């Protein structure tokens, strides 16, 4: 069994588990806590299918905080099992959540990693491909922003299988310097435009892309 098939079976299993939970609530076996768990389960299942299919569901910024909610829920459920005296129905929900929430938390943590192509816009994929191609022939690229009031310079290089961006923003003693490393060139393009304000396409010698053609996804800036 390959990994993709295993993920598919996992997503199907959690979808079925959610359906069983909904049925239990409809049949009168639910509590207010059960409704909360079902809401969390619905978001979890949506994320699992997004991860499996390589599709964007919500924003990448949402998933790691959501994983924090899952982990917190596990801790609260375990504490409730140990310190409390839950009823039979509540005990069932607490045990189910404590056992079944951990595996998707690991996958959704990976899903929330921005450094993968599924979160990139078409413009970022295009700019990333151009950066990668140029770095095949040049050891380092230097790109400068057009804003004279807030100048920025980015030096980009490839080290092993990763892309390194060194950024200098501002002038003189007030200048700030930082760097970041990425696996995917599309994420590098996003970083350069977001944190240095440099149009990658223009910096590489192409025409400046208009705001409508940039294809920025909502919530990434």
User: Whole-prediction pTM value?
Assistant: 0.81
Q: Are residues 10 and 103 in the same domain?
A: yes
Question: Could you tell me the residue range of the domain that residue 174 belongs to?
Answer: 119-203
Contact 56, 220 (CB under 8 A): no
- Label residue 1 by pLDDT band (50, 70, 90): low
Q: Check whether residue 87 and residue 102 sit in a common domain.
A: yes
What secondary structure does DSSP assign to 142-207, as a single string? Answer: EEE-S-SSS-EEEEEEEETTEEEEEEEESSGGG-EEEEEEESSHHHHHHHHHHHS---HHHHTTSP
Last residue of a domain, one of 113, 139, 157: 113
- Name the average pLDDT for the chain: 86
Number of domains in the chain: 2
Q: Range with the lowest mean pLDDT among 66-70, 102-106, 169-173? A: 169-173
The verdict on residue 220 lying in a domain is no
């Amino acid at each position: 069994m390959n990994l993709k098939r295993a993920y598919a079976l996992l997503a199907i299993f959690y979808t079925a588990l959610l359906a069983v939970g909904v049925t239990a609530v409809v049949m009168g076996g639910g509590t207010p806590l059960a409704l909360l768990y079902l809401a969390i389960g619905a978001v979890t299942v949506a994320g699992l299918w997004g991860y499996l299919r390589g599709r964007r569901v919500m924003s990448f910024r949402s998933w790691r905080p959501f994983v924090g909610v899952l982990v917190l829920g596990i801790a609260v459920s375990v504490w409730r099992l140990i310190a409390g005296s839950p009823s039979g129905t509540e005990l069932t929900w607490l045990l189910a959540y404590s056992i079944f929430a951990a595996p998707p938390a690991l996958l959704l943590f990976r899903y929330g990693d921005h450094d993968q192509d599924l979160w990139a816009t078409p413009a970022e994929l295009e700019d990333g491909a151009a950066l990668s191609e140029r770095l095949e022939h040049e050891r380092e690229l230097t790109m400068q922003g057009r804003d004279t009031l807030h100048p920025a310079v980015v030096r980009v290089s490839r080290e092993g299988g990763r892309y390194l961006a060194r950024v200098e923003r501002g002038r003189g003693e007030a200048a700030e310097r930082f760097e970041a490393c990425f696996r995917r060139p599309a994420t590098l393009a996003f970083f350069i435009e977001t944190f240095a304000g440099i149009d990658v396409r223009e910096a590489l010698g192409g025409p400046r892309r208009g705001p409508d053609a940039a294809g920025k996804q909502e919530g990434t800036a």
